[in-house]
Chains A and B, each alone.
Chain A
């Protein structure tokens, strides 16, 4: 018997086996449900129709699966994407978000689109209609830009900043118990002695920031070894409210938070090689219900994955 003939003889049972397996896996995964729409996203028609077309399959409770999305094993991956997509951003429960969070999610969305991270390319390959044109992106950019208003600070904002300043005692040592984030990362008071490697004016949310880098970071910058950053690198980013006067001079108002990224590709392998932490208000309240809060950090930093998840282009001193 020739090799070709024996191969043919094997082909039929193998095909049958594969077919049977294919049919039976169709029943393994529970079907994807569409929970009720409780408060749909509202925006000008031009904006909303773009978002519906390109994002709603994964970021709403109005997922519209095509037949090829429903065939296992593809359907498993689709279901995972929808679950994960909805968890981070759901346009069907939009009205339950405070207005500031709605704005933040829209700016994040536009940035994910500009970076080419959303809609996911594995999705647009099979759903080409969801691809966004340059014109679509312009419409979305103009819309979010129209939401950014940074008027001169009102009395309330000034008073809040003044009150905070009066209560702040920089000479006071670190609080008796050092605050610790849910993933075990403790607040590091020493960041104030690190070097500033950049600053940002965020007109999307009316804050201003300084990004600090520790000695390892500064050496890496000097040696131009910043992709990936070496283990031991630490960043701290501080955010304040903007206090603008009528002439357009802006200074830091109330302190909002300090955030850290600590590099250790072994210890923090599960979170892209970085230890993430955020402490809010001068009381340094750890952010996050549980250790999963890092998903939010990673999702937004995801478009920078080719740059070791770092946004900042550091400057040398």
Chain B
């Protein structure tokens, strides 16, 4: 550390870890946090269990060509579609609930350096989403493969080519969506507005992809639920030869949204 005489004021300043710790206390002390996380577990695994329960019948009816495209890993990870919304809600609420209650004034009085406060929220959500999202992806994978095995359908194990990459990619994907949600919550400030925007991004925009002018269509290669989710597959896809690049592209987009959020958060009155 620096010499004691250097800067007493700076030495006494609050370390960033304290700001993150405070955000963690706020996060864990809300019952809704735990309800939402429980919902993530139930819905996330429930969808996997439902989806996998009838796959044995589906598989029996597949042609040989279709069986060549059989991707049991991807089958067991499709629950990410719903998980991204639930994790997104957590990311949105960590900002918008403070605006809704006025608590943001108290938080900024305690931590007036605004970038520090928003960064602490982003760090917290990164940790929460990485842990819960990754856990969900692993459990979902094992649950799905166990059910496939029970039905006598070809299934994957973690050591098979591309499987670990897909499961880890799912965790990274969900973490990036959580950060997108923090950014949207900061920019829009209302829970409803941010949630509608998030749903539009992950579900509606891909649905209207056909209407895009050809120049814009390329962006879908890096869009949530689209190209960015290619990382969740294990079979080579000619459209996305390097799926981690597609996920990387989405992360850049999320970074752009967060940058706007940081700029606005510093500028605005609360």
Whether both chains belong to one complex is answered with: no
Binding site for B on A (CB under 8 A): none
